[in-house]
Amino acid sequence: MKAILATEFGGTECLKYKDVDIPEIENDEVLIKVVKTSVNFADIKARYGKKGATLPFIPGLDAAGYIEKIGSSVSELQVGQRVIAFPKKGSYAEYVVASDKLVFLIPDSLDFRTAAACPTVTFLSHRLLYNIAQIQKGESVLVHAAAGGVGTTAIQLAKLMGAEKVIGTVGNKEKVKIAEESGADFVICYEEEEFDSKVNELTEGQGVDIILDSVSGSVTEKSLNCLAPYGRLVHFGNSSGTIGKIKTIDLHSSCRAVLGFSLGTTRKQKPHLLKETAGAVIPYLVNNQLKIIVGHEFTLKDAAKAHDVIEKRLNIGKIVLNVTDED
């Protein structure tokens, strides 16, 4: 089969389009013929050796396709079914293997383009808001990196879950429209103004109830300046590459909380939790209540170009890799 292999840690020149063996499955696993897969920021971190991968490795977190083969102990899945999945060893390939606990059926009405773009961003956004922040109807939400795949999805889900006000932050003016089109009530470009001051202005000095932070560094620190009493700051990434410092004195008297979440850790340690999440997000997609913005598409062979787009922060919404010719 064809696959993208990271043969070294470093730049996009380390990504090679190669012939490799189709992987074998264990008793509780399934083999999936991949139609499309998506590109996530975590793939770039893995390429630089920051995710603990062992060389050579196939990048990628999620995939959409057809079940080709099932293990002997798999009882709830069948060959030929359309699925999304979180493979155990990367998704930039024509075939992937996944635990049956991390394979989720999708109906014929959900196209593979949307399906491939959705697993990481929808599962992550839903768990951040529903399970970790425990959003309540009428609350306000601040979403950092609001024009990216997770950002545009989280804005929509926050609205679907009853948020009264959703504010987004973006890195440049060109991305403001994307966040607005996703449903953000206000969008702040932090190149032009201090987001914490603007958030407090927009909330009449109260701050927001929930902040979703995948940036870290100074963004995390400033976020505490505009988090309301009893508010929850959910930290789930560090795209800035810098570490943010939080003062414990800023928490107890205000009854505010700082929470952490990793979808990768959850897939490895508590995969059963994601069945509930799939049951919540897939109907949103099928009913067109939640729209996944796909801003870029590349062939599998051109995965390096897709990485360039993300690394240069030029991406709008999700990036999909087309592994086969099927739409």
List pLDDT tens digits, range 64-111: 999 999 999 999 999 999 999 999 999 999 999 999 999 999 999 999
Q: What burial letters (b/e) apply to 266-298, b meaning 16+ CB within 10 Å?
A: bbeeeeeebeebbebbbebbeeeebbbbbbbbb
Do 90 and 153 sit in the same domain of this protein? no
Q: Give every CB contact of residue 325 below 8 A, 6+ residues apart in sequence.
A: none
285 within domain boundaries = no
Do 130 and 239 sit in the same domain of this protein? yes
Q: Looking at residue 148, what is its pLDDT?
A: 86
Q: Is 25 helix (H, G, I), strand (E, B) or coil?
A: coil
67 within domain boundaries = yes
Do 28 and 134 sit in the same domain of this protein? no
Half-sphere exposure of 81 (CA within 13 A, CB side): 17
Q: What's the DSSP call for residue 175?
A: G
Do 130 and 254 sit in the same domain of this protein? yes
Do 183 and 299 sit in the same domain of this protein? no
CA distance 11 to 18: 17
pLDDT above 70: residue 10: yes
Q: Looking at residue 189, what is its pLDDT?
A: 95
147 within domain boundaries = yes
CA distance 216 to 224: 12
pLDDT above 90: residue 324: no
Window from 63-67, 134-138, 174-178, 297-301 with minimum mean pLDDT: 174-178
Do 43 and 87 sit in the same domain of this protein? yes
Q: Give every CB contact of residue 191 below 8 A, 6+ residues apart in sequence.
A: 171, 172, 173
- pLDDT bucket at 280, cuts 50 / 70 / 90: very high
CA distance 97 to 302: 22
Looking at per-residue confidence, does 239 or 46 come out higher? 46
Do 113 and 21 sit in the same domain of this protein? yes
End-to-end CA gap in the chain: 20
Do 194 and 177 sit in the same domain of this protein? yes
CA distance 165 to 8: 45
pLDDT above 80: residue 58: yes
pLDDT above 70: residue 327: no
Indicate the pTM of the whole model: 0.93
Nearest to 39, CA basis, from 146, 138, 148: 148
146 within domain boundaries = yes
- pLDDT bucket at 51, cuts 50 / 70 / 90: confident
In this structure, the chain runs to a length of 327
- Token pair belonging to 214: 């995948």
Nearest to 257, CA basis, from 225, 229, 284, 277: 229
301 within domain boundaries = yes
Do 38 and 90 sit in the same domain of this protein? yes
Do 234 and 182 sit in the same domain of this protein? yes
Q: Is 251 helix (H, G, I), strand (E, B) or coil?
A: coil
DSSP H helices in 127-170: 149-160
Q: Give every CB contact of residue 268 below 8 A, 6+ residues apart in sequence.
A: none
CA distance 272 to 178: 33
CA distance 194 to 254: 23
| CATH assignment at residue 130 | 3.40.50.720
Q: Looking at residue 191, what is its pLDDT?
A: 84
* Number of independent structural domains in the chain: 2
Chain-wide mean pLDDT for the chain? 94
| CATH assignment at residue 26 | 3.90.180.10
Q: Looking at residue 244, what is its pLDDT?
A: 87
Helical (H) or strand (E) element with 147:
none
Structural domain boundaries, residue 95: 2-118+292-322
pLDDT above 60: residue 263: yes
277 within domain boundaries = no
Do 55 and 156 sit in the same domain of this protein? no
Q: What is the pLDDT of residues 306-317, one digit of tens each?
A: 999 988 877 777
Q: Looking at residue 326, what is its pLDDT?
A: 62
pLDDT above 90: residue 166: yes
Q: Is 4 helix (H, G, I), strand (E, B) or coil?
A: strand
Looking at per-residue confidence, does 247 or 144 come out higher? 144
Q: Is 209 helix (H, G, I), strand (E, B) or coil?
A: strand
Q: What backbone phi and psi angles, to 5 degrees, belong to 42?
A: -60, -30
| 208-213 vs 103-105, strand pairing mode | unpaired
| 227-235 vs 208-213, strand pairing mode | parallel
What mean pLDDT is predicted for residues 19-27?
97
Do 114 and 127 sit in the same domain of this protein? no
Helical (H) or strand (E) element with 34:
strand 29-39
88 within domain boundaries = yes
CA distance 324 to 44: 23
- Token pair belonging to 45: 């971190």
What mean pLDDT is predicted for residues 296-302?
96
Q: What is the pLDDT of residues 209-255, one digit of tens each?
A: 999 999 999 999 999 999 999 999 999 988 877 888 988 888 999 99
Q: Looking at residue 295, what is its pLDDT?
A: 85
Q: What's the DSSP call for residue 206?
A: -
